[in-house]
Amino acid sequence: MYHMTMMTAGPTQVRENVRMARSTVTSNPDEDIAFCEYYKSICDKLAEFFHTKNTFYILSGEGILGLEAACAALTEKGDRVLVIDNGIFGKGLADFVKIYGGDAVLYIVDDKRPVDAHALSEYLKKDSNFKYATLVHCDTPSGMLNDVEKICNILKEYDILTVVDSVSASFGVPLYVDKAQIDILCGGSQKALSAPIGLTFLGVSDKAIQVMQNRKTPIASFYANILNYVGYYEKKWFPYTMPISDIYGFGTALENVLNDKQIFQRHEIIAKATRKAIEKAGLKQYINEGYSNTVTAIVLPEGISDKELLQKMRNKYHVMVSGCFDVLAGKVVRIGHMGENANVPDVAETLAALGDTLIEMGVTLKCDMRKVFLNECQLY
């Protein structure tokens, strides 16, 4: 068994102390009051990290569960929901709205640029009758970063609840939830937090809870029902047996983040250096602006097969990066420089493997991406 450097756009690499935390001897989380206290302490630390008074809950399920839970909680039959679509995941949120009987109204804009807050404001002057709006912070397939603070504050001018998918941005870029007026923040364990796959977290405002409690009809789910978590601490009772080992790992990963005082600076430096190396090599990014510090999507040169490229990188160089799906299937490869992946040696190795593989496949590059990357990191 050989070592594989995993530089995908999530899941990310997991630090040794996180893996060891998951091997800790566990008790019964249904009966252990100490576990309930530990769970709450993690939720409180999340609230502090994201600068919010919102209440946090950690659910057993990948990040998609959090997105569905947010839509399940707020959607009743016939509710008009504004789905802000400038990427694959932005558009995808409409599916959850429809599943729970809502009327998903797509606000479709250029998928190569961030949402224009002014243009959205002009749109809302003509039509603002929405119960809530969904927005993706970082669209993982394209590497697009939206300014959620500007956008959510505009939505709040019309008393529209805000649901933000920050699965691929949280912990990699700063986020002030209260300042942005986010009603439900959705995140995941396996991206920039660099915890094991399988947990989602939600930061829920009092207003959102009130709307859920005042529904005309019950939430049409048990597992994806946020209300089942409300009051868990006072009752010392969870709606189902919590994955205690995963949560121990999550808590340790969060401590790693809290102890990293340069976390945002590190992500920014590595992201900028990565983009500069790609640009100087003559390769193109998929998006034109609004670059995220967590993931970069690189357009494949004409005639290059993504499957062949990815396979060669894995088999010869033992480096794993991501392909893509949906409308970007076969068009881009993605480097996830987030969380534990956001370190100079691994990104340098990844760019070297990518460059060498492309050259072997007949692509002419204008520079050694590894050397450019290392030089750029020293400049910042």
pLDDT digits (tens, 9 = 90+) for 324-364: 999 999 999 999 999 999 999 999 999 999 999 999 999 99
What's at 2, amino acid-wise? Y
What is the pLDDT at residue 325? 96
pLDDT average, residue stretch 194-223: 97
pLDDT tens, residue by residue, 261-275 = 999 999 999 999 999
What percent of the chain has pLDDT above 70? 99
Residues 78 and 67: their CA atoms lie apart, in Å, by 19
The pair of three-digit structure tokens given for residue 247, joined into one six-digit string: 């949560």
Residue 154 is part of a domain; what is its CATH number?
3.40.640.10
If asked whether residues 270 and 352 sit together in one domain, one would say: yes
- pTM for the whole structure: 0.97
Domain of residue 144, residue span: 16-259
If asked whether residues 109 and 202 sit together in one domain, one would say: yes
Q: Which residues contact 268 (CB under 8 A, 6 or more apart)?
A: 293, 380
If asked whether residues 214 and 293 sit together in one domain, one would say: no
If asked whether residues 172 and 68 sit together in one domain, one would say: yes
If asked whether residues 245 and 292 sit together in one domain, one would say: no
With tokens 């502090």, the residue in question is: 48
Residues 232 and 204: their CA atoms lie apart, in Å, by 14
What is the pLDDT at residue 2? 63
Give the long-range contacts of residues 212-219, CB within 8 A, separation 24 or more: 212/73, 212/74, 215/76, 216/76, 217/76, 217/77, 219/72, 219/73
Residue 333 is part of a domain; what is its CATH number?
3.90.1150.10
If asked whether residues 144 and 166 sit together in one domain, one would say: yes
8 Å CB contact between 49 and 376: no
The pair of three-digit structure tokens given for residue 42, joined into one six-digit string: 């993690």
If asked whether residues 295 and 160 sit together in one domain, one would say: no
What percent of the chain has pLDDT above 90? 98
The pair of three-digit structure tokens given for residue 65, joined into one six-digit string: 């569960």
Helical segments of the chain, H only: 16-22, 33-49, 63-74, 88-99, 117-126, 148-156, 177-180, 206-213, 232-235, 244-259, 263-280, 306-317, 344-360, 369-379
- Phi and psi torsions of 339, nearest 5°: 60, -135
| Confidence category of residue 369, pLDDT binned at 50, 70, 90 | very high
If asked whether residues 219 and 345 sit together in one domain, one would say: no
pLDDT tens, residue by residue, 128-160 = 999 999 999 999 999 999 999 999 999 999 999
Asked if the model's pLDDT at residue 380 lies above 70, the reply is no
For every residue of 20-32, DSSP letters joined together read HHHTS----TTT-
What is the pLDDT at residue 315? 97
Average pLDDT of the chain is 97
If asked whether residues 108 and 253 sit together in one domain, one would say: yes
For CA atoms 232, 234, 235, 237, give the dihedral sign: positive
- The domain boundary, picked from 259, 288, 322, lies at 259
What is the pLDDT at residue 379? 73
If asked whether residues 228 and 333 sit together in one domain, one would say: no
If asked whether residues 211 and 126 sit together in one domain, one would say: yes
The domain tally of the chain equals: 2
| Confidence category of residue 1, pLDDT binned at 50, 70, 90 | low
- The domain boundary, picked from 217, 235, 259, lies at 259
| Residues paired with residue 204 on neighbouring β-strands, in sequence order | 55, 184
If asked whether residues 128 and 246 sit together in one domain, one would say: yes
- The domain boundary, picked from 259, 291, 317, lies at 259
pLDDT tens, residue by residue, 276-322 = 999 999 999 999 999 999 999 999 999 999 999 999 999 999 999 99
Residues 47 and 45: their CA atoms lie apart, in Å, by 5
Q: Which residues contact 203 (CB under 8 A, 6 or more apart)?
A: 46, 47, 50, 52, 54, 55, 56, 177, 182, 184, 185, 187
pLDDT tens, residue by residue, 357-366 = 999 999 999 9
